[in-house]
Amino acid sequence: MTTGPAFAEIGIVGGGAYGAALALAAARAGRGVRLWARDGATVAAIQRDREAPRLPGIALPEAIRATDNLSDLAACDALIVAVPTQHLREACVAMAAVLPRGAPVVSAAKGIERATGLFATDIIARAWTGVATAILSGPSFAEDIGRGLPTAVTLAAADAALARGLAESLNSSAFRIYHASDVRGVEIGGAAKNVLAIAAGIAIGLGFGESARAALVARGFAELRRFGEAHGAEPETLMGLSGLGDVVLSCASPQSRNFAYGLALGQGRTPAEASGGRLAEGAFTAPILAEMARAKGVDMPIAAAVAAIIAGQTGVRDAVAALLARPIRAEI
């Protein structure tokens, strides 16, 4: 694999806010961009207004060409799939049917497939055999990327040269990309932080204050590290942008869908009411994360509590009371 900025044409699969933001980042890095959206109305709006409906108020340059035909991405040198984890398999099957296999596929999804326990790169590999895969993750809100505010993320691939080449091709002055080879560590950080963000939102929704949030984030991050180590993640990765960095961002702001979902739960709304029609990836991740932790003998009481709340097995106050009643132990 050639190193350096060798990827001149980038295909973005997903016309939501994050897909549009990544399209902007690629365009600012000097790449040609083809942005695919399932919804023809979204494509028409972009072509007419030069603005993505899910990312309003931010102009899209002419370098970004929108389409609802996946075949239009055939000439792209790399593909970035910006769809929710639970829809990633469907997207990859559709791409595999019409696109050549040569371009690497980068997932921007943060989660675990609920039905299988697979992480993003594994989903891609199963759905589209033979393609090179990578993962892009880190503390990044779509609006911040779209507005060109300073943001730093991690791009990981098992092929170190591929990771470096993609990072160099997408990097710009406001969108800094670090490259890595610890794919699993990056994926675990992105998935588990969503569950912790729900827990942090619940704490604030209950009115527990900032001290409680800080304690929950610290103890939740300890859970994330235990889970990561049990699945072969490198400790340095978990302490980096795609681990600790993303936890800090997602647990601190209602701009995070997962935090907002937890906030609504803490304020007394049911799981169905809390979603408000918006996807909170952590709601799908929590049950499979807790199940995978149990299978490995990893103690993750906060993740398990979130999973139980979402399943309707316990109320938020009962879950908190159970956590506070756990035996006193050494902090490790």
Q: List 66's β-bridge partners, or say none.
A: 35
Told to judge if 193 belongs to the known catalytic residues of this protein, a careful annotator would answer yes
> Distance between CA atoms of 293 and 302, rounded to whole angstroms?
11
Among candidates 287, 285, 284, 277, which has minimal Cα distance to 313?
287
Q: Which of 53, 49, 78 is nearest to 62 (CA)?
A: 49
Q: Residue 3 corresponds to which tokens in the numbers above?
A: 């190193």
At 73, list the tokens: 């991405």
Length, in residues, of the chain: 332
> Which of these is catalytic: 193, 213, 225, 257?
193
- C-alpha span between 187 and 308 (Å, rounded): 23
Residue among 163, 213, 154 nearest 188 (CA): 154
What is the residue whose two structure tokens read 């759905």? 127
DSSP string, 68-120: S-GGGGTT-SEEEE-S-GGGHHHHHHHHHHHS-S-S-EEE---S--TTT---H
Contacts of 28 (CB under 8 A, 6+ apart): 148, 172, 174, 175
How far from 176 is each of 57, 153, 166, CA to CA, in Å? 23, 6, 12
Contact 78, 10 (CB under 8 A): yes
In 10 A of CB 182, how many CB atoms? 24
Taking alpha carbons only, the member of 143, 153, 135 closest to residue 82 is 135
Structure tokens at 301: 């009481």
Nearest residue to 11 via CA among 69, 70, 89, 76: 76
Dist CA 284 CA 87 (whole Å):
12
Residues labelled catalytic: 193
